Every structure is written in structure tokens, then in C-alpha cells.
Structure 1
Amino acid sequence: MRPAALPPRFDPREPEVVENPYPTYARLRAAGPLCRSGAGSWAVTRHADVLRLQRDPRLGSQFPEHYHRLSAGDGAASAFFQRIMLYRDPPEHLRLRKLMGKAFSPAMVRRMRADIEAITDELLAPALDGGGLDVVPELAYPLPVRVICRLMGIPEESTDEVRRFAIDLGRAFAAIVPDEARAAADTAVGWLRERIGALLAERRRHPREDLISRLLAVEDAGEALTHSEIVDNTVFSFFAGFETTVHLITTGWAALLDHPAERARLLDRPGLAATAVEEFLRYDAPIQGTARYLNAPVEIEGRKLRAGRVLILLLGSANHDESVFDDPAALDIGRTPNPHVTFGGGAHLCLGAFLARMEGTIVFERLASRVREFSAAGPAHRQANTPFRAYATVPVALSPR
């Protein structure tokens, strides 16, 4: 029978949720496995349910066209979301993922390790000489942008320009994009398409051994990929290849600034960098929730959700589930095991997870081995109007060893 009482409602736009969602998540988990979200949508709060539903074939990622139009409007961003692999189901998703996955394979990423270390050292050098940095513009953005450019064979753009358009595109990943952000998102898509399109044209004339040239070879071989799909999925892979890593790096630094004991622990034991990265991903996940479309009815603890509904998997809540994580509100950079769900699961496991982990580990290894101490040089400010757990600025003072 259908439960009589309606579950509580969750609104991610509430100021207290934007500032710190975790107390709200705790109340929602205590109330039950489900909560109401927007119109016609529900959210899942607990780790076991999120983990199971990530792999449930009844949950799809391909939303009807009217959903994207309602969410992002009628412009370039809406069309972009309808083509990218993030919002496609099999067989289209599998084909696109197989192609784009070549740039993010563990073997390809491992070959980039020396480059990532060199770029990290280059970016940290001025901070070590000058005694400080703003983590966001001086490290967290330029590092992953330069790395993904090299991986995909894309000329390195001005990181300031890339950052501006990345922020505008990132806002369009919200469930409902505010009217004032839609034009900027459309412009960002257009800017990125123009540059990727020009690069595709150049690679068609002069092929190389890179992802762009391989995608063109697939198109020329008559695979079921249109030129627009290739352009938009290359844009998405470029964006996805650095966006999450940016927020992983910044939230990791911010967490250490707020936890002096864990900061000292890392500085004393740089070998903890890899487990620290996993804890940063759990403690304040860059992506707090993922939306799924119910292609068939799903029952969760006696409540039957109809097909055609939207189900939000609250990754941030699952990562703080008391039944899985001891003292989940505490930062523990040595936490093991750490079965967080930040990178998703099933067919939509994050394509860039291996790359993000490597970049994050190298950053915090390099930091711990070169710095005697670091502390806040001013207040860290959250980035406003974004679906990510993101910072606009994280100023840091540091003392080199």
C-alpha cells in the first residue's frame, strides 16, 4: 500500500543548503530513504539506495526533449545537452563512451604523469617564492585545463577565458537554469563549439595521433555519429575533463584549511595524498546529485514511483550516511575503506575519475613535500549560482620547506 504521509521536501537552492547541505541531508536520511524535490521529482537520500539505483537499468539518463527545453531554454545549451553522452542511454551512450574513453583510459593517463607533475611544479613555484596563492585561478583551473588540452590534442587556451566560459556552461547543468544564466550558457556553448569545430577542420586537413583525429576517422568510416555529435561530445569531454578536478582541488585545500590537525597530518605524511583525495571527494563532493529519468516504475520502501518521473540520487547525502561512514562529519584523510559514490556508478561511472584522482594526488603530494605550513590568507568564498560545490576564491599563505 502507498504510504500515507508524504516525505519531507528538499530544495537545493535554500541558502542554508547552498552554504552547508550536510545537516539538511542528515535530517532527510533520518526521515526516510526518499524526499520530494521539484515538480514530479523525488530524491534518494541513503547510501545503499543510491548505490543500488546507480546500476538499475530502469533509470535512464536520456530525458525527453521538453525536459531540456524547460531546464535550459531553446538555445544552444539545450541542443548541446541532448547530444552529449551524459544524457544518452544505450546504445548511443555506449558508442560515445567507447570513443571518448580513449582519451581517459588509465594507460593514456599514466603516460601523462610526468607532464602533470611538471605543470603542478610550474604552477606552485611562484607561490613558494611569494609565500602564497589564490588556489582557484592560480592552480585549480590552469592545471586540469592544461592537462586535458594535452590529452585530447587541443591547443592550450588562455585559462582565464576558459574559466569564464566554463563557469557559464557549468551553471547550465542545474535542474532549472535561471533565466539570467541561459544566455551566458548559450554563449559558452557557442564559444567552445567554435574552437572545437575549427580544430576538427584543421585535423581533417592534417590528421595527427590524437583523440580529435580518431573521432574524425570514425565519422568518415560511416559510424552513426553526426558531425554535430562529434563536436558537442568533444566539447563535453573537454569540459568534463577538468571541471570536477577543479572543484576537487579547491574543496580539498579548503577542507585542510578548516582542519589544522588533518593539515598537519598530511604535511607530516605526504604519502597520505591518495587517501586524502578520496576523503575530499567524500567529505564535500563536487557534484552533490545526479538526475535520472524513470523509464519504468520503481518502488522504494513501499512507495511506488511512476515512469516518467525524475529521480535525484543525492550523492552528497549518501557520502555522509552514518550507517556506512563512521563520524561522517569529520574529515579523516586516512579513512579506509571509503566507499563514496562521488564518481557515480554503472554505465555512467565518471569517465575522468582516474585522471581526477591522479591530478588530485599529485597536487597534494607536491604540496605536502614542498610546504612546511600553510594557512588561510583571507576568507574563502563560494562560487554563486552553480550546481557544483565550488569556490570562487581560496587565498592561502604558505611557508616553503
Structure 2
Amino acid sequence: MAATLSQPDGCACSKEPAHKPPPPAREPARDGPRLAILSRDPSEDPMAELWDPLAPEFVRDPYACYARLRSEDPVHYVETPGFRFFLVTRYEDVLAVLRDPAYSAQKFPEQLVADAMAGPDPSFAALARAVSGMMLIKDPPDHTRLRALVSKAFTPRVVEGLRARIEAIVDELLDGAAKAGGMDAIGEFAAPLPVIVIAELLGVPAADREKFKRWSDEMVPFIDGTLRASGLVQAARGAQALEAYFRDFIEVRRKDPRSDLMSGLIAAHERDDALSQTELVATAILLLGAGHETTTNLIGNGLLALLRHPREWGRLRREPGLVKSAVEELLRFDSPVQLTSRIPRRDVTLRGCRMAAGVEVNVVLGAANRDPLEFPDADRLDLARAENRHVAFGHGPHFCLGAPLARLEAQVAFSRLVERFPSLRAASQEESRRPGLVLRGLAALPVFF
């Protein structure tokens, strides 16, 4: 690693040559994380030991690491065998990157697609198609076109019309838990709730929910960057199964259209070829995955935070009208999505750090949401926090399309939990976290009533 050169505002950048290599070729999947974050010699870079996102202590609590990065090296350069990238951790810098068209959302996944296509199993092509057709990883004008087709289903007004149905689903899930005197708040509540909601929006039959949830879960590690070579075939076959399912389902809906979202997308496809068949299938897969994974993490992380801050739990119980503000604070405090990636189209400079075109830039949403320059007393959970302009849903053109739905589901979930189970408590002080580079969530959260 090159020696460091002091820069303004605490930016410890590598000297120019270290920032100007050709874009690195990502290594094909191997027996290790796809993004192999390996510790470097601290004598060469004192900050190197900080960023180890798959280490157990980081998985438990990344926020101490984020605080040091924000303070000491807010545009942090990481170089490991086969990989090099930047980490951007300050709130104002995260906003700057996400709204600047100089940074592409599309170039990063092109390498994911290349990795998938290089795989030995025929199902890898399905994985590549699923990734490449998603609006999440497209730039304008394709992103604008695809987003416009789906956005009408997720406006606040349309989503508010789902409230009664979401309340009924929540009550049904909690009725079963009440009889048992407790539940795994993830497996029996936070996970099934958004799956049921998005399945009904898409028009997917109830009998098929369990299997497409399983297929979607198999793909998550590939997107999240934690996949090991031994699981890549499983992820690809999950994508292949989802692709086959939605191709068949599209044919069913084409012959028998309903009022669901999938029928609307099919109509757009046939009316003016507004999206290709590959994009149609990829959009369905994205809505399924994004429609449940992040909301599950929001509810799970939020409930754990409330249980660890009993005064705030009691506050919400006494003041149920706080629930909207509470959900925003829970999103900020322990964000379900921790980072997102961009690639500079040209050489750019941020806080005196020169970032070469083509080198990955990871903006750390979880770090930005704890930035004390934007959020006073940022490490304190305050359900009534004012001016809470968090970036848990991202920022700019790729701001989360499903944010209104995720907010409503979480609001109903927490309202019902404090109302029905005011004495709810965790069954254990131990935390069951799932390791992840992008997503932050719990594997399980046993609770008693």
C-alpha cells in the first residue's frame, strides 16, 4: 500500500499513482466473500484494520468504525488482492455522490453480470439476466423509463389505500403469536408480513409465496456481496427458478389480466413495448426481493432497538401518535441498507481525494445516518427527533421506490406491537445477526409477551 498523504478535512488519501490504476478486474467467485475485505498491515495504513465488515464484532456493531472513518478518513481508500474501492461516510458527501450524474449506478452491476456469466452452470445466465434488467442498477434514460412504469403503484395515496389490508395481515400474524405467548419476531412476523403484501400486489397466489421467498433468499447473498463460491450455484438456480416462475405467471396474466401490478406491467409491455421481456421478469424479481428484504430488516432492527431502549418503547406505548416519527428514527438509527455503490464515469475529486474513473465508490448510508454534523446526538435513539433527513432509502434519482409502502408496513407493525404486547421483551440478550456488506438484519429475534 502506498504511503498516505495528508489532505484537508481529515482525508488520508493515497498518493496519486495509487488512485489511477486501470479499473480492477474483479476476481471470479471463489471460496471467500465476493468482496474479499482483507485486513492490511496497520503499519502501512493505520485505518486498514477498521474496515472488516464480515468480522463478528463489525457485524454486531459497525457504528464505532463508521465514527472513526467519518472523523479521520471520510473518503477512505481500500485496496486488497483483486479489489480497490473508496468508502464515503460523511452525510454531505453521501448526498453529493448520490445526486451527481458523474457517478453511475449501472457500471458496478455490469461486473456482477460478468461474474455470473463466467460461471460453469447454465443457470448463471438467468442470474445475469435478473441482475442486468433491474431498474435499481440502471442509469437514465432506462432507469427513468422503468421507474415511471412502476411508480404509480407506490405513491403515498395508493399505498395508504392498502392500510386496512396491512392491518389485517399484521393482526392475523400476531393472533397466532399471542396464543403461543411469544414468537420469533423475524421468522414469524417481520419476514412474512412484507412477503404477503408484495405477493398480493403482484397478484401471486398465496400457495406460491413460500417457494418464491426461498428462491429470493437464495439470491440475496449474491447481491449483498457475501456469497461464497460454494453458494453461487444455489444463487443462480434461485434466479433461474424465479425467472421460470415469472415467465409462466406472465403468460397466465396475459391471458387473464387482473387489477394487480403484474397485469399492469404486462399491459405496458404489450401496449408500446415500454419494457422488454427480460426487464419485465427482472422487475418482478426486484419488486419481490426489494419488497420484503429491506422491510424485514427495518422491522427487525427497529424492534431490537426499541427493546434495548425501554424508555423509548414506553414512550411509543404512551404516545402512539409518535409512530410515524418513530419509524423515521428507527430507519436512521440502524439502517436496513448500509451502503450502495457507484462508479465514477470520469476522474472526480471529493474532499481532496482523487478518484479515478471506473474505481468503485461505496457510499455508506449507515455511517451518514449517524453523522453528528447532520444529526445532533446522533448515537441516541430519539423517537421524536426533528428534521430527520436520513438517507436510509437512499437519495437522488434512485431513492427507494417502495419507501411509502415500507413506512406504512413498519408503522402498522410497531403500532400493533406496542398496543397488543406492551410488556414485550427479548428472550435473550444475545444477538443473531446475518453478516452482510449491503444489508443489515437479524436472522432471528425471539420475544416473549
Q: TM-score, normalised by structure 2?
A: 0.84
Please point out which of 296, 305, 308 is paired with 1:246: 296
User: Are 1:212 and 2:219 an aligned pair?
Assistant: no
Q: Deviations over 1:250-298 (max 9, x none)?
A: 1111111211211221222222211111111111111100001111222
Partner Cα distance (2:396, 2:389) in 1: 15
Distance 1:155 1:46, change over 3 A: same
DSSP 3-state at the match of 1:37: strand
Q: Choose the corresponding residue for 2:76, options 25, 32, 35.
A: 35
SS in 2 for 1:40: strand
Query: Which AA in structure 2 matches 1:191?
Result: A
SS in 2 for 1:172: helix
1-structure distance, mates of 2:197, 2:229: 33
- State the AA in 1 paired with 2:150: M
Equivalent residue of 1:57, what SS? Answer: coil
Aligned to 1:14: 55
Q: Which amino acid in 1 is paired with 2:265?
A: L
In 1, Cα distance between equivalents of 2:207 and 2:349: 48
**TM-fit CA distance, 1:156:** 2.4
Query: Match for residue 198 of structure 1?
Result: 248
Once structures 1 and 2 are overlaid, which stretch shifts more, 117-126 or 259-268?
259-268
Return closer, same or farther for 1:221/1:198 CA change in 2, 3 Å cut-off: same
Over the matched positions of the two proteins, sequence identity in percent amounts to 38
How big is each residue's C-alpha offset from its partner over 1:198-247, in whole Å with a ceiling of 9 and x where there is no partner? 11000111122222222222222342522111111111112111111111
Match of 1:264 in 2: 314
Q: 2:91 aligns with which of 19, 27, 47?
A: 47
Q: How does 1:275-354 map to 2 (within 5 A)?
A: 275-354=325-404
Q: Aligned residue for 2:432?
A: 381
Query: Following the alignment from structure 2 to structure 1, what is the Cα–Cα distance between the partners of residues 206 and 377?
Result: 42
**Per the alignment, do residues 337 and 310 of structure 1 end up closer, same or farther by CA in structure 2, a change over 3 Å counting?**
same
User: In 2, Cα distance between the equivalents of 1:344 and 1:41?
Assistant: 20
* Structure 2 residue 117 is matched with structure 1 residue 67: no
Output the CA distance in 2 between the equivalents of 1:175 and 1:137. Answer: 23
For structure 1, which segment, 41-50 or 320-329, has the greater mean C-alpha deviation from structure 2 after superposition? 320-329
**Per-residue CA shift, 1:359-383, capped at 9, x if unaligned?**
0001111112222311112344112
- What is the correspondence of 1:71-220 to structure 2 with a 5 Å cutoff? 72=116, 74=119, 75=124, 76-157=126-207, 159-175=209-225, 177-220=227-270
Which deviates more from structure 2 when the two are superposed, residues 50-59 or residues 327-336?
327-336
Residue type of the partner of 2:13?
L
- The answer (yes or no) to whether the contact 1:142–1:159 under 8 Å persists in 2 is no
1:304 positional shift = 1.7
Deviation at 1:77, TM superposition (A): 2.2
Q: Distance in 2 between matches of 1:78 and 1:43?
A: 26
Check conservation: 2:113, 2:132, Cα contact below 8 A. Answer: no
Query: Cα deviations across residues 56-112 of structure 1 (Å, max 9, x unaligned)?
Result: 110111126761146555413233211111111111111111112232222221111
Q: If the length of structure 1 is used for normalisation, what is the TM-score?
A: 0.93
| Cα pair 2:77 2:85 within 8 Å, conserved | yes
Q: Distance in 1 between matches of 2:421 and 2:309?
A: 16
Aligned residues: 397
Structure 1: unaligned runs, 5 residues or longer: none
Aligned CA-pair RMSD? 2.0
Aligned residue for 1:364? Answer: 414
Q: Which moved more, 1:11-20 or 1:81-90?
A: 11-20
Query: Unpaired runs of 5+ in structure 2?
Result: 7-11, 15-46
Report if the CA contact (8 A) 1:254-1:380 is conserved: no
Question: Partners of 2:390 and 2:274 in 1: how far apart?
Answer: 36
Residue by residue over 1:183-205, the C-alpha shift from the partner in whole angstroms, topping out at 9 and shown as x without a partner, is 12112212222221111000111
